[in-house]
């Protein structure tokens, strides 16, 4: 165990010019080590430490003098923004502060005793059930966010394709990049991918499916950078191509066999590469998606992730079993997949018609015209 003495130094002949700052830095070092021991990722730890420093600046005081009212002041200030911070973001902030306070008040680490000796006071847990947000709903995103409709998808993909034609007709550079971006968006939709999952694909991740030989080596995608559980490695899964989206496979084959080699990259295995042979970034996809959405004047609440939502919704409408859909998108729980689903009125009317026919015209079940 790393004690306060081992972190900030305990020699009697050593006097810190700013003992409060030294103790606070020691607390952060100890908390960092604890998080590493728990298996949290380096970026997650970095973000946690940065937030605690910001919270200290917000309160204008050190942790051993924090009070429960500081949490309430922070929450009120963030909710007063326009637009106010999302419920899930605020809850995440509360979790960070609660975790840090749990660490510095744990008797096993000795920080409370150290502060009492040095400053005549000690840290307390300032987060409790009455001043922090709780995870009350499985889906905490903004209600306005939704999947693409069929018409919006058709318009979006057609517009992305037209960008390629316009660049070629104008004799300008960038046609290959525009073709690549259009195909990335189609692939995200056709396989229900997350943004990071898409950009991290490599050529060897394209695989065949013996049950659909007509698609060659494009029958499955091996996702190696799926969303991880907190503190765990990226999860892997295999996503099968489905016949309703085989049009996207033709474009994927064209990219791999004809367009991608024209970038001249022989050392990179990345599926989506730039003119400089580097991997396309998630930020580029966000920027390009926003440009196309603005040019089409589509609903601003549609995001790149809405393509994944549309994939789930449309698989359900096509009649695929819930378990199959859940495995395709890599959800641990069926309830999560259900949250993504927003079936159309036409689909619901078809289901209702079948139910009515089963009740009121059972003699017609199984009959074909």
Residue-wise DSSP of 81-149: SSSPPPHHHHHHHHHHHHHHHHHHH-TTT-HHHHHHHHHS--------TTTS-----S--S-TT--PPP
Q: Which two tokens stand for residue 174?
A: 């960038």
Looking at residue 91, its pLDDT comes to 87
Architecture of domain 4-119 in CATH? Orthogonal Bundle (1.10)
CA torsion, ordered 21, 24, 25, 30, to nearest 10 deg? 160
Looking at residue 298, its pLDDT comes to 94
Domain range annotation of the chain: 4-119, 150-340
Looking at residue 266, its pLDDT comes to 74
Give dist(CA 55, CA 212) in Å, integer.
55
Sheet holding 206-207, edge to edge: 206-207, 220-226, 235-240
Per-state percent for the chain, helix, strand, coil, to nearest 5: 60, 5, 35
Q: What angle do CA 345, 349, 350 make, to 5 degrees?
A: 120
Paired residues of 239 in beta bridges: 221
Instruction: Give Cα 332 to chain centroid, integer Å.
Output: 15
Give dist(CA 71, CA 66) in Å, integer.
9
Q: Which two tokens stand for residue 186?
A: 């189609």
Looking at residue 332, its pLDDT comes to 75
321: left (phi over 0), alpha (psi -120 to 50) or beta: beta
Looking at residue 357, its pLDDT comes to 65
Give dist(CA 302, CA 284) in Å, integer.
17
303-307: which pairs have CB atoms within 8 A and are 24 or more residues apart? 303/145, 304/185, 304/188, 304/195, 305/145, 305/194, 305/195, 306/145, 306/146, 306/147, 306/148, 307/147, 307/148, 307/153, 307/185, 307/188, 307/189
Nearest to 23 by CA among 109, 126, 127, 107: 109
| 150-340 CATH | 1.10.443.10
Nearest to 163 by CA among 291, 35, 258: 291
- For the chain, 369 residues long, give each residue's pLDDT as a single digit of tens: 455 755 565 544 456 678 999 999 999 999 999 999 988 888 889 999 999 999 999 999 999 999 999 999 999 998 888 877 777 788 889 999 999 999 999 999 999 999 999 999 999 999 998 888 764 444 445 556 788 999 999 999 999 999 999 998 888 888 999 999 999 999 999 999 999 999 999 999 999 999 989 999 999 999 999 887 766 778 899 999 999 999 999 999 999 999 999 987 778 899 999 988 899 999 999 999 999 999 999 999 899 999 999 999 999 888 888 889 989 998 876 655 665 565 555 555 665 566 566 666 666 655 544
Looking at residue 18, its pLDDT comes to 84
pTM for this predicted structure? 0.67
Looking at residue 29, its pLDDT comes to 95
Cβ contacts of residue 225 below 8 Å, gap of 6+?
196, 197, 200, 234
Within the chain, strands assigned E span 206-207, 220-226, 235-240
């Amino acid at each position: 165990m790393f004690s306060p003495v081992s972190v900030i130094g305990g020699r009697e002949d050593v006097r810190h010019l700013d003992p409060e700052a030294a103790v606070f830095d020691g607390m952060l070092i100890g908390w960092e080590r604890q998080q590493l021991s728990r298996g949290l990722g380096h970026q997650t730890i970095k973000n946690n430490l940065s937030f605690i420093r910001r919270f200290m600046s917000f309160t204008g005081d050190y942790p051993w003098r924090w009070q429960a009212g500081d949490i309430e002041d922070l929450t009120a200030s963030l909710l007063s923004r326009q637009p106010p911070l999302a419920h899930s973001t605020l809850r995440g902030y509360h979790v960070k502060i609660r975790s840090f306070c749990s660490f510095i008040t744990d008797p096993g680490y000795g920080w409370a005793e150290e502060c009492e000796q040095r400053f005549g006071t000690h840290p307390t847990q300032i987060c409790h059930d009455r001043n922090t947000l709780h995870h009350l709903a499985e889906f905490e995103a903004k209600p306005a966010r939704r999947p693409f409709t069929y018409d919006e998808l058709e318009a979006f993909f057609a517009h992305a394709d037209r960008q390629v034609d316009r660049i070629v007709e104008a004799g300008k550079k960038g046609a290959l990049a525009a073709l690549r971006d259009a195909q990335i968006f189609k692939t995200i939709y056709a396989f229900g991918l997350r943004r990071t999952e898409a950009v991290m694909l490599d050529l060897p991740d394209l695989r065949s499916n013996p049950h659909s030989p007509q698609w060659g080596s494009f029958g499955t995608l091996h996702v190696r950078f799926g969303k991880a559980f907190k503190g765990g490695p990226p999860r892997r899964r295999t996503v099968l191509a489905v016949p309703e989206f085989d049009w996207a496979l033709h474009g994927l084959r064209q990219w791999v066999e004809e367009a991608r080699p024209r970038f001249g990259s022989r050392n990179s295995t990345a599926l989506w590469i730039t003119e400089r042979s580097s991997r396309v970034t998630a930020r580029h996809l966000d920027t390009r998606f926003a440009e196309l959405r603005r040019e089409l004047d589509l609903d601003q609440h549609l995001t790149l992730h809405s393509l994944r939502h549309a994939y789930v919704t449309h698989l359900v409408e096509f009649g695929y079993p819930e378990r199959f859909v859940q495995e395709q998108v890599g959800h641990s729980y069926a309830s999560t997949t259900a949250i993504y689903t927003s079936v159309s009125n036409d689909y619901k009317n078809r289901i209702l018609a079948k139910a009515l026919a089963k009740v009121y015209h059972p003699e017609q079940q199984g009959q074909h015209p």
